[in-house]
Amino acid sequence: MTEYDYWKIFPRMPRKVTIGDITVRDGFQHEEKFVSTEAKKFYLEELIFAGCRDIEVTNLGNPYLMPQFKDAEELLAHLRSDRFKKRCERKGINYDDICLTCITIREGAVDRAIRLKEQGIGPDRLLMMVSTEEEHHFANSGTTLPDYWKECERSIKKCNDAGMIMCGTVSTIWGSPIGGATELKDAVEFSKRWLEIGAHDIEHADHDGSASAPDVYRYFSMILDEMPDTSLHIAHFHETKRVASASVLATLQAGITNFEATLGGLGGQPANFLDDCPTRGTGDYYYTDPRYVGLVTLEDTLVQIDEMGIEHGYDVDRILKLGKFMEKTIGRRLRSEAILNGRTLKEGHMQFARPGLKGRKEKLGEEPGQKLPSDWGAQAVLPEK
């Protein structure tokens, strides 16, 4: 007999997940206009009020390279303020449940985070990043993999001593936009290396939409075979071919419980132009069409997981409303379909029903709810072959 119970077919698939939001950092880093500090504060607050508990606030790297984040300290100070804490309390949110993450690609940014921590406005969690493909890693970090690993080792010790935790990202798992195909086993080994040098958790990143569902399932199955604690692992997918929702599903089937997304699917390589001025960013873009760059959308991913009956902790309608706001903030149509079409309503959309069905059934002598002719058998009988 065929097994129809999805959770029996995929026994590792979770009943509850965590979805972190990285809109204000990863999403906005790709934008070629400065998103106002007030808008950033608004979305950080509203995402938390809508249910987000793991949120990326900003990038603590040199704002000369990424001026989008020149307001980093103001954002952190805002989220550490007594005013914001009181707003959380009034809404029944335990402030201590919120984890504020900042990106610190190089050791200098880690040192900056430590100084902010000493001032009382530092993040809870930092993030450093390696790519399994060294050309891509060099484009992101400016140094070699061996040299960077030693820098990460030093930085994690500093970070932990200061009372913060470090997330280690592994990128180019399913392919590199620069060097091409990669080996899954390299990413598994890199993940283990992060834990070996003291990282708290691991972000497994598809940074250019290279992933396919079978390889995603294979990879995360390999990961959980080697490191079965699901709290260690976060799935991060970019959307370039409209197939990332299949990768999300494959990740769930493999047993991963933590995901990341952005409103509208914003994000991508750091901008090398801001407002009216060229900036450094990470150099030339490694894509040809900006319409096909970004992450999985928080709105669509949330609806997908919600309609599977998996617990997530968000107010879905509030997130869909935020998605509509984000299109106004950015000034263009973004990538969420759910903000246009909403969720699948079990009660239907009866406002679109045509008049007269009840009267027509009565005229034909049919019972309410009758769907087959009355002289037909109770069950269909298939013709013999």
Helical spans, DSSP H, in 255-291: none
What's the pLDDT score for residue 214?
Answer: 97
Least confident segment among 290-294, 337-341, 367-371: 290-294
Residue that the structure tokens 């450093």 belong to: 128
What's the pLDDT score for residue 70?
Answer: 97
- Span 176-183, average pLDDT: 90
The class of domain 12-341 in CATH terms is alpha beta
| Pairing status of strand 201-206 against strand 165-171 | parallel
**Burial class of residue 35 (count of CB atoms within 10 Å of its CB; 0-12, 13-18, 19+):** buried
- Name the residue ranges covered by the structural domains of the chain: 12-341
CB atoms within 10 A of CB 295: 30
Report yes or no: 181 and 140 within 8 Å, Cβ to Cβ.
Answer: no
Q: What spatial distance separates the first Cα and last Cα of the chain, rounded to whole Å?
A: 21
Q: Identify which has the larger pLDDT, 280 or 226.
A: 226
CA distances from 373 to 193, 369, 370, 377, 378 (A): 67, 12, 8, 9, 10
Could you read off the pLDDT of 262-318 as tens digits, one per residue? 999 999 888 999 999 999 888 888 777 777 789 999 999 999 999 999 999 999 999
Residue that the structure tokens 């997130």 belong to: 319
What's the pLDDT score for residue 342?
Answer: 86
| Pairing status of strand 273-274 against strand 201-206 | unpaired
What's the pLDDT score for residue 366?
Answer: 95
Long-range contacts of 310-317 (CB under 8 A, 24+ apart): 310/14, 310/15, 310/16, 310/17, 310/252, 311/15, 311/16, 311/17, 312/16, 312/17, 312/18, 312/19, 312/51, 313/18, 313/19, 313/51, 313/53, 314/19, 314/50, 314/51, 314/52, 315/50, 315/51, 316/343
Helix (H, G, I), strand (E, B) or coil at 340: helix
What's the pLDDT score for residue 291?
Answer: 73
Could you read off the pLDDT of 19-49 as tens digits, one per residue? 999 999 999 999 999 999 999 999 999 999 9
